[in-house]
Amino acid sequence: MNTGLTIAFICNGDKHPTVINYKLFGNKYWDDTQNNKSKIGYYFAYYFQQKYVYIHKIINILQPSEQPSDMIWESNNRQTLCLSKQIKKFTWNEWITGLGAGAPYTPNYRMTQTGSWSYSELQKKYNMFNFINLKNIIDQQPANIAINYVEDAIVEEDDDMEAYMKKQQDEMDSLIKAKQAEIDRIMKLMEAKKIAKSVGLLREQARDSILKEIKREDDEITRRQANIAVLRTEIEATMRGDFDTDLIKQKDYIVKLTIEF
């Protein structure tokens, strides 16, 4: 099955054409891009005025000549995307900080033309966007699959319906808990990386302090070695007799002082 993502935009203002069209037929159809890149099986996301994100799935694609009569749109030879009922809804903040983090046109956008990407294109251009994680979580929602594809399989009896809805709620709660656990894991990992970075800086500071002390010690050793070299030179000069005259004078002065006292 084709895997990818198509994104359409609903602009601000109640009178904007995208808002009007969305109210008329947006839950069933939408116009494809000029290059007609979308495929059946792609997920379809409405970016609704940077307030919400509505997820559908492309269940069929109609050629321009097959455009539905209730779809009032000058298609300009573009395909018509047939959409499933809404699968998932996010606030804009939930999207850009959660499953949609790193997705095209996040965290802000100025583009309003419908865009489409295959899974491989998403990997190359938006590698921070975990599309597979989004796909897995959506695909694990039996309630939505039932609503979109097997509506006639729901039992009409009240007791069975109540049990069915409770089961779906329990499964949704489990998914939410799993997502929260994943967010908690990521936050702990980020905190660990932050601590590791701080420890690294402390290590560098300690290293620099030790290196300064080593340099001071090296300087002192160099000075002492120079003094020793001078003293060795004096010893050699003394033993050669270079200072004999001074030594004799010094000896005579000491003898003279001894006699006077």
Which two three-digit tokens encode residue 88?
């998932």
Strand 52-62 relative to strand 80-83: parallel, antiparallel, unpaired?
antiparallel
Domain boundary among 119, 154, 189: 154
Give dist(CA 39, CA 33) in Å, integer: 11
Q: Say yes or no: 113 and 222 in one domain.
A: no
Question: What are the helix and strand counts (H, E) for the chain?
Answer: 7, 7
Note whether 209 and 260 are same-domain residues: yes
Q: Are residues 166 and 145 in the same domain?
A: no
The β-bridge partners of 9 are: 47
Tell me: do 201 and 130 sit in the same domain. no
| Same structural domain, 102 and 198 | no
User: CA-CA distance, 36 to 80, in Å (whole number)?
Assistant: 9
3-class SS of residue 254 = helix
pLDDT mean for each 10 residues of the chain (261 residues): 89 89 93 86 95 96 88 79 94 95 91 88 93 88 46 46 73 82 88 84 86 88 90 89 84 71 64
Adjacent-strand bridge partners of 29: 82
CA pair distance 31, 46, nearest whole angstrom: 12
Give the Cα separation of 115 and 99 in Å (integer): 19
Indicate if 150 and 168 belong to the same structural domain. Answer: no
Does pTM top 0.95 for this prediction?
no
What is the pLDDT at residue 60?
A: 95
Q: Provide the number of structural domains found in the chain.
A: 2
Q: Measured on CA atoms in the order 120, 126, 128, 132, is the torsion positive or negative? A: negative
Q: Which domain holds residue 29?
A: 4-154
My answer on whether 148 and 167 are in the same domain is no
DSSP letter at 14 equals T
Q: Are 123 and 199 within one domain?
A: no
Phi and psi, residue 140, nearest 5°: -90, 15
Q: Which CATH number fits the domain that encloses residue 93?
A: 3.10.590
* Domain termination residue (choose one: 124, 154, 184): 154
Query: Which DSSP state fits 40?
Result: T
- Domain end call among 123, 154, 185: 154
Q: What is the DSSP string of 61-97?
A: EE-GGG--TT-----SS--EEEEPSP-EEEEHHHHHH
